[in-house]
A and B are shown apart, each in its own frame.
Chain A
Amino acid sequence: MRSLEQTTQEVLDLASKHFNVPAGSLAPGDDFFKKLGIDSLQALELLSRLENHFAIELPDYEVQGVSDFKTLAERIQSRL
């Protein structure tokens, strides 16, 4: 079982890869809309990638209103 820290780091790594930003440039507290300059649809694409990686399903309502990596990682952690 992953720790929350591990999950958070994996979320950050995947987001960096998915949006082609340097590894290590994202922090848990970052707002992903602002930091990555993405829209809500691009955020949904990231969610699909995270679901595949963690082999979970994240219903849309679970991530409604979430805009920072830390909270996103917490929501993922609760479903692992």
Chain B
Amino acid sequence: MLDLAKYQSMGAALKDALGQFANEVCLIESDREREKERLTYRAFRDRASPLAKALQDAGFKAGDRAAIIMTNQSKWLISAYAILYCGGVLVPLDYKLTPDELWQLLKHSSAGTLISEYPIWRQLAAAAARSDATNLKTILVTETPSNAPLHGAQHWEDFQRPGEPTFVPRHRTDIASIVYSSGTGGRPKGCMTTHENYLEQGHAITQVIAFEPGIRYLSILPTNHVVDFMMGFLLPFTSGATVVHLRTLRPEFVRDAFTRYKISYMMLVPLILKNLQKGLEAKFAALPKGKRAALNALIRVNRALTRARPRVWLSRRLLGQVHNAFGGEFRAFGVGSAFIEPATLQFFLDLGIPVANSYGLTEAGTAVSVNDPRAPRTDTVGKPLAGTEVRIVNPGADGIGEVAVRSKTVMSGYLDDPGLTAETIVDGWLMTGDLGKLDPTGHLQLFGRKKNMIVTAEGKNVYPEDIETIFEGLPVKEFCIFAANYIWPQRSLAGEQLVLALHLEPGRNYDEDLRRELTARNLRLLNYKRIHGVVLFDEDFPRTASTKIKRNALAERLAQLDRKTMILPL
């Protein structure tokens, strides 16, 4: 593993890694049972260099912004490396957003270059909002079928020039990427993340989770997300490890990848871990009675022998069949982003499969705290990473208060929004909006949120302001969307949902027509963004002098209502 603390930029660290680990395999890409690509670090460099040279010949220079909208695949990482090599700023965007949302963020980011893949580009090119993003000069599209219209883009595969590109050094404090944590409907939150943020984060994580040649990381979280960018690119690549990409995320092919590629680590969201648990439980239940009893006995033995700390080698012997289903060399899952039941974590621990439950946010440069897989605590999100300070602001009698973070990993601010930056980073402390407390051993426990947002089991952050536009023009007097737990605070992160507060026009009832209209609009949202129910409120919403709704004041008034009876499910 390279010592990331010594580097000035990600580009410099990656450049050295490609040389140092030249003969190791860095990347495997598989589409179902077909392996499409297997690249050594040398081959990876040979693919990226002509692209970097072509970018430079096209005028791409230090500080220029380049957006990537792609599913997880080799060309994502090759493109990212070429951009960083040229001193550029990455703008990784979530390919699951709608074309209009993507164009909005492309415009906000002022990216001059876009790299995408054909199925995504086909939809982007057809969207009316395309005309808004006038900054785009170079559009590169991968895997375009022959004779398919490119709509002003160029073939990624043909965009290459011979000759050695010039490596462009960057300083630690320079912006390395702009990652949007939200803001597709309202106020875009483009987190400006520096090279130092990434390098410090990487240095700290590897003190808890080891990467080295021979490690294989299965990358299924989108690479545009800070977690996969770190765990599925920067860390494995700067340690000579291998990243495995799958072009389809059907559960059966993900399962197959474990055994086919002898996976060591995988980061996932609670929904997928829960699904794996369900699958295993169903398999165990289907065993003949005698075998099931034997398995349960072995699980009990394993639990007793690994109670103090996981001993993966021992568990592999005791529960060989279970571990073989994970490839036999699996070391740990990492899970974060959203609430996960301790029972699910314990289920895997009992099988001798450690799960490193963690906590982080894009603004903090990925992780704030991580459970050490060698000694995980299922009731916590682990200890703060080395170099990261966590403080509990205004704790109550129970010790619970807002989690604040100070670290070299914290972003430098939100792009073009100094006001929001000042509200979020106060005296050098990142105010997370999450509620938690530190236990006597220094482990962080989370208990809910202070901020008006939810995180789904798929790890998606949803901010009410981002989805309100879909309800504009409703035949009601006024409306406002809230996270239900923001109105009615809970000491838990479980069961988060969004509700729509409605103030009807005088004399109008909440009738079937209105309900149908709401349902129809709700269905226009991506499924994880949908509101769960409606809360009727028969008073004028409190507003500022400029007629904006005072969300806090409205939430306080709604809190007087009974949550159980007032939410009408949609």
With both beta carbons as reference points, the residue of chain B lying nearest to A40 in the complex is identified as: B458
Known: A44-B250, A45-B251, A61-B71. Is A39-B526 also a contact (CB below 8 A)? no
Measured CA separation A61–B124 after assembly (Å)? 13
Q: Is the CB of B250 within 8 A of A48?
A: yes
Which stretch of A4-12, A13-21, A62-70 is in the interface? A62-70
Q: Is the CB of A44 within 8 A of B251?
A: yes
The 10 tightest CB contacts between A and B, nearest first, are A61-B119, A33-B527, A41-B275, A60-B248, A44-B250, A31-B523, A48-B250, A67-B527, A39-B271, A40-B458
In the complex, what's the smallest C-beta–C-beta distance from B141 to chain A, in angstroms? Answer: 13
Known: A40-B271, A64-B96. Is A59-B248 also a contact (CB below 8 A)? yes
List B366-422 residues whose CB lies under 8 Å from chain A. none
Measured CA separation A40–B527 after assembly (Å)? 9
5 pairs, A vs B, C-beta closer than 8 Å: A39-B457, A41-B271, A41-B272, A60-B249, A68-B523
Q: Is the CB of B272 within 8 A of A59?
A: no
How many residue-residue contacts, CB under 8 A, span A and B? 49
User: Does chain B have a CB within 8 A of A47?
Assistant: yes
In the complex, what's the smallest C-beta–C-beta distance from A49 to chain B, in angstroms? Answer: 10
Chain B 528-557, CB within 8 Å of chain A: the 1/0 string?
101000000000000000000000000000
User: Does chain B have a CB within 8 A of A34?
Assistant: yes
List B443-497 residues whose CB lies under 8 Å from chain A. 457-458
Q: Is the CB of A65 within 8 A of B71?
A: no
Q: Is the CB of A39 within 8 A of B458?
A: yes
How many of chain A's residues touch chain B, expressed as a range? Answer: 10 to 19
With both beta carbons as reference points, the residue of chain A lying nearest to B253 in the complex is identified as: A48
User: Does chain A have a CB within 8 A of B120?
Assistant: yes
Q: Is the CB of B98 within 8 A of A65?
A: yes
Measured CA separation A41–B268 after assembly (Å)? 13
Measured CA separation A45–B458 after assembly (Å)? 16
User: Does chain A have a CB within 8 A of B247?
Assistant: yes
List chain A residues, Cβ under 8 A from B427. none
Known: A40-B458, A41-B251. Is A62-B527 also a contact (CB below 8 A)? no
List chain B residues, Cβ under 8 A from A48. 250-252
Measured CA separation A51–B252 after assembly (Å)? 13
List chain B residues, Cβ under 8 A from A57. 32
With both beta carbons as reference points, the residue of chain A lying nearest to B248 in the complex is identified as: A60
With both beta carbons as reference points, the residue of chain A lying nearest to B96 in the complex is identified as: A64
Measured CA separation A57–B272 after assembly (Å)? 23
Q: Is the CB of A67 within 8 A of B523?
A: yes
List chain B residues, Cβ under 8 A from A45. 250-251
Measured CA separation A57–B34 after assembly (Å)? 13
In the complex, what's the smallest C-beta–C-beta distance from A34 to chain B, in angstroms? Answer: 7
List chain A residues, Cβ under 8 A from B117. 61
List chain B residues, Cβ under 8 A from A39. 271, 457-458
With both beta carbons as reference points, the residue of chain A lying nearest to B246 in the complex is identified as: A60
List chain B residues, Cβ under 8 A from A47. 250
Measured CA separation A74–B523 after assembly (Å)? 19
Chain B 69-100, CB within 8 Å of chain A: the 1/0 string?
00100000000000000000000000110100
List B289-317 residues whose CB lies under 8 Å from chain A. none
List chain A residues, Cβ under 8 A from B95. 64
Known: A44-B250, A59-B247. Is A34-B119 also a contact (CB below 8 A)? no
